[in-house]
Amino acid sequence: MQKVIIDTNFIVSALIQRSYPNLILNYFLFEDKFELCISDELMAEYYEVLTRPKFSKFPDFFNRAENVLTDIASKAKFFTPLIKLNLIKDEKDNMILELADECEADYIITGNSQDFTFSIYKKTKIVTPKEYWDNHQP
């Protein structure tokens, strides 16, 4: 089974619009097609970002976010990264690479091309939601 890490911006997109992130998230939540890898640090970031007041303008955003986070917490596999990296300009995003290293992820799915300027880290491919959906889904 594929091991996948999803960036926080991916979840925001999935909750706001019906596009590739939404399709992929439903693929995980309802069809168990891949193993979502997570760390306590990444889960904390999900919670911090998804509770920001700026998202209140989207109908029912907070209820949907709470449901998605509950599902992720119960279905994802948690890992504790043992290394610290400093490869990405935005220091917080290094935790995703650290997690990828620990769980030997197949994919990191992110819309953040400003910070993830490379397409592969060790054996982990870094792809956009559209690239994943079109070319890599199981």
**Ordered structural domains, the chain, with CATH:** 3-135 (3.40.50.1010)
SS3 state at 113: coil
Q: Is the pLDDT of residue 30 over 80?
A: no
66-117 confidence digits (pLDDT tens)? 999 999 999 999 999 998 987 777 778 889 999 999 999 999 999 887 777 8
The pLDDT score that the predictor gives to residue 77 is 97
* All residues at 6 or more sequence positions from 53 whose CB lies less than 8 Å from its CB, including other chains: none
Instruction: State mean pLDDT over 35-46.
Output: 96
How far, CA to CA in Å, does 104 sit from each of 21, 30, 68, 97? 22, 24, 24, 10
* Residue 27 reports pLDDT greater than 80: no
- Global pTM reads 0.91
pLDDT at 118: 82
Helices (H), ranges, 17-125: 20-31, 40-50, 61-75, 94-103
Q: Which residues pair with 77 in a beta bridge?
A: 37
Q: What is the mean pLDDT of the chain?
A: 91
Token readout for 17 is 């619009």
Q: What is the mean predicted confidence (pLDDT) over 22-41?
A: 87
Q: Evaluate whether 28 touches 34 at the Cβ level (below 8 Å).
A: yes
Alpha-carbon dihedral angle through residues 117, 135, 5, 55, given to the nearest 10 degrees: 80
